[in-house]
Amino acid sequence: MELWQLDVVHGFALADGPAAKALTGIDDHSRFCVSACLMPRELTQAVCDGFSSAMRIYGVPAQVLTDNGKVFTGRFAQPPVEVLFDRICRENGVDHILTAPRSPTTTGKIERFHRTLRNEFDTRQVFRNLKTAQEALDEWVNYYNTQRPHQSLDDMTPASRFHGDDKRRELTRRPERNGEQWVSRRVARNGVVCVDSQHISVGKNYSGSTCDVFVTDGLFQFWVGTELLRTVARAGVGGEVRKKHADSTAPRR
């Protein structure tokens, strides 16, 4: 997983209040929708909760691309400040890329996703409440990801490309991960890896994969293929972890 494009789209009409907004996100290469989280208002906490939820489900991207909105960055404030979104990126090792001012084509793929969303989901309809709107949006996103052919993907679905990338990354798993500080674990169906009694989510899309974990006294690093998914502080007291050597013969999905 290399780059996500994130944005906020407006105009989801609700019968019981003002129109809702959505934090949307797509994987740049596969066009897979990683976020479509509705919120009553465009607030920093709601945006950051949506971003954090996407990372819990799909893993941590190497980079994220956003516009210069105040919910995303405080780099252009006077004086510059680190807003919550930037802090989350820093703490998870995500490179936060900003678009150039007045350059909407930089985020062209997610803008194209917004046009598809407005046309096919029909954002002109009025939903009874936020919960009903989110349920309908989730259903459409599932269709978009898993059933709708995408012309720019040679009529593949985004899910086919997204999960296909995972398999190619596994084939390039580094053979040298057999030292004393490496262990291997199978990613569970819910996207969680368990090491030394810690349960760490690396994303459901990696379920069934072999995850190599680099162990130090203070940190765990979680790798699938050549991709570093997460770096997590170790909660225990350190020391030896069961199954010290990564299993290079573990089956692949």
Please determine, for residue 246, whether its predicted confidence score (pLDDT) is greater than 50: no
pLDDT tens column, 89-118: 999 999 999 987 655 545 678 999 999 999
pLDDT above 90 coverage of the chain, percent = 43
Could you give the C-alpha distances from 231 to 186, 202, 216, 221, 223, in angstroms and in order? 17, 10, 11, 5, 9
| Average pLDDT, rounded, for the chain | 83
The C-alpha atoms of residue 175 and residue 216 are separated, in whole angstroms, by 20
The C-alpha atoms of residue 33 and residue 50 are separated, in whole angstroms, by 13
pLDDT at 145: 93
- Quick check: pTM over 0.75? no
pLDDT at 247: 45
Q: What is the layout of strands, in order, in the sheet containing 219-224? A: 182-186, 210-215, 219-224, 227-233
Structure tokens at 58: 């799909």
Q: What is the mean pLDDT of residues 215-223?
A: 81
Q: Is 95 helix (H, G, I), strand (E, B) or coil?
A: strand
The C-alpha atoms of residue 219 and residue 109 are separated, in whole angstroms, by 36
* Cβ atoms of residues 29 and 63 within 8 Å: no
The C-alpha atoms of residue 64 and residue 61 are separated, in whole angstroms, by 7
Q: What is the residue whose two structure tokens read 């269709």?
A: 143
**CATH number, domain 3-153, options 1.10.10.10, 3.30.420.10, 1.10.274.10, 3.40.1190.20:** 3.30.420.10
Q: What angle (nearest 5°) sits at the alpha carbon of residue 33, between those of residues 208 and 150?
A: 100
Domain ranges of the chain: 3-153, 173-233
pLDDT tens column, 12-61: 999 988 899 999 999 998 999 999 999 998 899 999 999 999 999 898 99
The C-alpha atoms of residue 49 and residue 34 are separated, in whole angstroms, by 13
Reading phi first (left if > 0) and then psi (alpha if -120 to 50, else beta), residue 197 is in left
Bridge partners, residue 39, by sequence: 21
pLDDT at 235: 76
Please determine, for residue 88, whether its predicted confidence score (pLDDT) is greater than 50: yes
The C-alpha atoms of residue 157 and residue 27 are separated, in whole angstroms, by 13
pLDDT at 173: 42
